[in-house]
């Protein structure tokens, strides 16, 4: 058996694969995000650890006796978060997350201090990345900054608690702005630009490498035997790619989770930061990837459901019951609830409902949310194509993959075939389990296969054409927004 642990922003998800790679059981435990000031986003690492234990207990109950036969564990996680440890491995402050916006000024400072940043890291400096967060800590919490012995990414804090080892894989490290992404090694030049040193960084491994074993006390608490291997793992995007079988150049997927990701595999390092695209190491050696990233995707739907006191399934039924003319006259929604990365690199981009009238009901606004996220994905696809990346179809993963209506809307908006797969909602957790399998001796060609296709959503030319007027309005609203009021 192979166990996958995915540390997301809203949930720790765990899955168990059997010896044939089948999905035997899935469980999860929710997480909350602290927002002590506007634009801030934090979580307590101890909460991740406690939630992981609870999720493991649920999975063990579902799997029964099979759970005790786990041979290896893989890790996936939200990228960019800064877990700051002192010399005794104690957490110094709440982790600053990927969707935190406080370090805008520090992005400018880092770009000035590291002239080769784009060449080495392959990415623009954005507030979500790890390096600007450390510059912010150095400026605003200097005593705490001086006490930092190690910086870990979120999933690697779980690894520390599981194995006692301070390790990071190259895919997750790509999101720090401290990695020489072409060489797959820490860059002393980039570290120095943010006041950091190599000895404060975890050791680097590839995602499919064995990277320690489960501590005896953790194995006993989880009901596992001795010698369970823990793989290098991956950032959530690369892990989702492994889970969906996107491992060869040109393979790709679209993820609708808290954030939205369009991910395409490459066999070389081809950065294009001018389009606010991300170029990272893939979880497999000799592979890289390009990604367009939306900061809010399925989280927009969760936000709207909470705001209007409705569950997602009921709202989707209301939306599906709408006549076509009601959708055509719905408000237009800009999904920038946390700012935006691709293509705008604008942390102050606002969320917007435009065109509201008394005739609009909850279903009309709900449809606008689905459509607005889909239009954000269109902008991401255009950025990928402008960078020379060819895309002909995409697999859909993450929580949004559960909605056939949303999958068809994406196909119509993107004018691409959208495929869903059996187990595709497991996302990064499935890929993490596969990386564990590879670390235990599995073969890439047999482990990293495409899961069975569940459904294919083909674009409808008439609906695609009808969406173009609303897409243009979507873009015009962003361009005509007032200048942002930046917080000091």
What does residue 247 show for φ and ψ, rounded to 5 degrees?
-130, -10
Query: How many whole angstroms separate alpha carbon 370 and alpha carbon 407?
Result: 10
In whole angstroms, give the CA distance from residue 132 to residue 187.
15
- Nearest alpha carbon to residue 98 among 167, 177, 161, 170: 177
417-421/393-397 β-pairing: parallel
Distances (CA, A) of 414 to 34, 223, 332: 34, 46, 17
Could you check whether the bond before residue 303 is cis, i.e. omega within 30 degrees of 0? no
Task: For residue 343, say if its preceding peptide bond is cis, omega within 30 degrees of 0.
Answer: yes
Q: How far apart are CA 211 and CA 201, in angstroms?
A: 16
Q: CA of 113: how far to CAs of 131, 184, 194, 275, in Å? A: 12, 22, 8, 22
- Of the residues 6, 236, 379, 412, which is catalytic? 236
CB atoms within 10 A of CB 83: 24
What distance in Å separates the CA atoms of residue 243 and residue 432, rounded to the nearest whole number? 7
* 251 is annotated as an active-site residue: no
Rounded CA separation 364/355 (Å):
11
Residue 105 · residue 140 · CB < 8 Å: no
Give alpha helix (H) positions in 355-458.
Answer: 362-386, 404-414, 428-439, 444-447
Residue 256 in contact with residue 406, Cβ under 8 Å? yes
Binding-site annotation, residues for substrate: 79-80
Q: Tokens 């400018």 identify what position? A: 108
In angstroms, the Cα distances linking 379 to 223, 384, 458 are: 47, 9, 19
Residue 486's nearest CA partner among 38, 35, 112 is: 38
How far is it, in rounded angstroms, from Cα 221 to Cα 97?
Answer: 28
Alpha-carbon span 488 to 467, nearest angstrom: 39
Please tell me whether residue 112 adopts helix, strand or coil conformation.
helix
Active site positions, annotated: 236
């Amino acid at each position: 058996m192979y166990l996958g642990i995915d540390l997301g922003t809203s949930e720790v998800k765990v899955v168990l694969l059997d010896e044939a790679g089948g999905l035997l059981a899935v469980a999860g435990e929710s997480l909350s995000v602290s927002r002590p000031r506007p634009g801030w986003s934090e979580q307590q690492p101890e909460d991740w650890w406690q939630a992981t234990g609870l999720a493991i207990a649920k999975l063990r109950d579902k799997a029964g006796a099979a759970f005790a036969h786990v041979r290896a564990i893989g890790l996936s996680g939200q990228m960019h978060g800064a877990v700051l440890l002192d010399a005794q491995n104690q957490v110094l402050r709440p982790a600053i997350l990927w969707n935190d916006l406080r370090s805008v000024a520090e992005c400018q400072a880092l770009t000035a201090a590291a002239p080769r940043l784009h060449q080495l890291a392959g990415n623009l400096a954005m507030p979500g990345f790890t390096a600007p967060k450390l510059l912010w800590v150095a400026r605003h919490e200097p005593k705490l900054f001086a006490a930092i012995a190690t910086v870990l990414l979120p999933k690697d804090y779980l690894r520390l608690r599981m194995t006692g080892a301070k390790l990071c894989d190259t895919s997750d490290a790509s999101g720090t702005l401290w990695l020489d992404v072409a060489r797959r090694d820490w860059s002393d030049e980039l570290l120095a630009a943010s006041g950091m040193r190599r000895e404060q960084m975890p050791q680097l491994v590839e995602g499919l490498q064995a990277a320690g074993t489960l501590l005896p006390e953790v194995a006993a608490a989880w009901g596992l035997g001795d010698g369970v291997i823990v793989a290098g793992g991956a950032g959530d995007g690369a892990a989702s790619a492994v889970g969906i079988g996107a491992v060869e150049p040109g393979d790709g997927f679209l993820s609708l989770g808290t954030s939205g990701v369009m991910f395409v595999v490459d066999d070389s390092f081809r950065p294009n930061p001018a389009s606010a695209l991300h170029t990272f190491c893939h979880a497999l050696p000799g592979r890289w990837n390009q990604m367009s990233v939306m900061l809010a995707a399925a989280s927009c739907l969760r936000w709207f459901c909470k705001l209007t006191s409705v569950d997602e399934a009921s709202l989707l039924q209301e939306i599906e019951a709408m006549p076509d003319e009601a959708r055509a006259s719905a408000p237009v929604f800009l999904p920038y609830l946390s700012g935006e990365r691709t293509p705008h690199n604008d942390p102050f981009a606002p969320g917007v409902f435009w065109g509201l009238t008394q005739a609009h009901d909850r279903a009309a606004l709900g449809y606008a949310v689905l459509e607005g996220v889909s239009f954000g994905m269109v902008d991401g696809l255009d950025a990928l194509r402008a960078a020379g990346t060819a895309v002909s179809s995409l697999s859909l993963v993450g929580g949004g993959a559960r909605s056939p209506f949303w999958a068809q809307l994406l196909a119509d908006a993107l004018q691409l075939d959208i495929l869903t797969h059996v187990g595709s909602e497991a996302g990064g957790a499935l890929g993490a389990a596969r990386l564990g399998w590879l670390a235990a001796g599995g073969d890439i060609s047999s482990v990293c296969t495409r899961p069975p296709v569940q459904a294919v959503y083909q674009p409808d030319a008439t609906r695609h054409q009808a969406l173009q007027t609303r897409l243009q309005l979507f873009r015009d609203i962003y361009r005509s927004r007032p200048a942002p009021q930046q917080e000091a």
